[in-house]
Amino acid sequence: FALESQLDCIRRCQVNSAIRTPNSMRPLCDLSRDELVQWCHSHSQPAYRAAQIWRWLFGKRISNFESMCDVSGQCRQQLAQEFVLFSTKIVERRTARDRTEKLLVELCDGQHIECVLMRELGRRTVCISTQVGCAMGCVFCASGLLGLKRNLSTGEILEQVLQLDRLLERNEKITNLVVMGIGEPLANLQALIPALNALHDNFGLGLGARRMTVSTVGLPDKIREFANVGKPYTLAVSLHAPNDELRNELVAVNENIGIRSILEATDEYFKKTGRRVTYEYVLLSGINDQPTHAHQLIALLKPCNAHVNLIPMNLVESLSFDKPTERKAQQFADILNRGGITTTVRKRKGADIDAACGQLRLTQESSFRT
């Protein structure tokens, strides 16, 4: 088992070094706590150092290894020789009138991703990315317009949370996580699962699994794999249409999947984890927001234990889709609620800072290209 996990560690290093510039070092949060225990072992440090180091890394908002004052000087030096605290840097920070914050983050190979911090009464939610770009082909989404560049590593996923955590006041802390930024999270499960584990771990951020939501375009095999992790993470599926004909037009990958097989997989997710699945539905004016669509959606989801979250389309400059009026969105929600499907309309956060996923990166990449 130890050899297996060592090999795994080496394999991960190789994957990571493939995306790293020659002289850049591995971020410390890229290691799981078990891997850090092994590192301590091979550096003649006691195993309890791993927990100590993690407490500093995730809980104390430090900016250098020297600040880990109860970790021996020798150990801090060893850490500094092999790791960096951050491999990413913030290249732009936007703050909205509602105090939503959005970061444009540059990765070590010069690629960019986005992450967002949302503040609500008693709640601090972070929204993070899992890939550079996206291959799913949703026609209304800014994230996929430039295609998929690459997966993020576990460290790059976690660093977004750590960077956002450092924007908070001393007395504020992150209470919720949504994996709804750039990319398809379930297409990068191998990096996402260790990141979620670290955030869930009491020596990490200690976030409850139910407070972590992973949003997927709906990849049935990956939904099953995610269910087998055995934690009650909240799963949100981006449905956006009540039938395959319309969904094929809006979500390119649906051609090879189909709604039926997604619902079979989410049914298993519910049975295994006990978590009710949320279905996200972007309302596109005149396209999928008619009363007939709402009635079809009721028929489709009635047999499932479903919750629907309606998202009025966030306008993307280069795309011609529009959002419905607030009244029309509410009418759509009312039909669903009357039909026995619990439905909410998502509140818009950070409207004045391009906070919807992929928009800031898109602006950045296009300004590079012109």
Residues with a known catalytic role:
114, 357
Mark the segment that binds ligand SAH (CB under 6 A) among 76-84, 112-120, 212-220, 255-263.
212-220
Interatomic CA distance for residues 285 and 70, integer angstroms: 58
| Binding track over 297-326 against ligand SAH, x by CB under 6 A | --------------x-xx-x----------
The size of the interface with ligand SAH (CB under 6 A), counted in residues, is: 18
At its nearest, how many Å lie between ligand SAH and the CB of residue 4?
Answer: 31
Q: Is 113 in the site for ligand SAH (CB under 6 A)?
A: no
Question: Mask: binding to ligand SAH, 133-162, rule CB under 6 A, as x and -?
Answer: ---x-x-xx---------------------
CA distances (Å), origin 228, targets 64, 97, 262, 273, 318: 37, 41, 16, 9, 39
Give whole-number Cα distances, 344 to 34, 286, 306, in Å.
Answer: 40, 20, 12
Contact assessment for residue 345 and residue 280, using Cβ atoms and an 8 Å cutoff: no
Closest CA to 32 of 243, 206, 263, 191: 191
Judged by CB under 6 A, which stretch of 43-51, 192-200, 211-219, 267-275 contacts ligand SAH?
211-219
- Cβ nearer to ligand SAH, comparing 155 with 218: 218
Write out the two tokens for 14: 């190789």
- Enumerate residues 232-291 that contact ligand SAH by CB under 6 A: 238, 280, 282
What is the distance between the alpha carbons of residues 7 and 13, in angstroms, rounded to a whole number?
Answer: 10
Binding to ligand SAH by CB under 6 A, coded x per residue (else -) over 340-369, reads ----------------xx------------
**Calpha distance 252→240 (Å, rounded):** 12
End-to-end alpha-carbon separation of the chain, Å? 52
Binding residues vs ligand SAH (CB under 6 A):
136, 138, 140-141, 180, 184, 215-217, 238, 280, 282, 311, 313-314, 316, 356-357
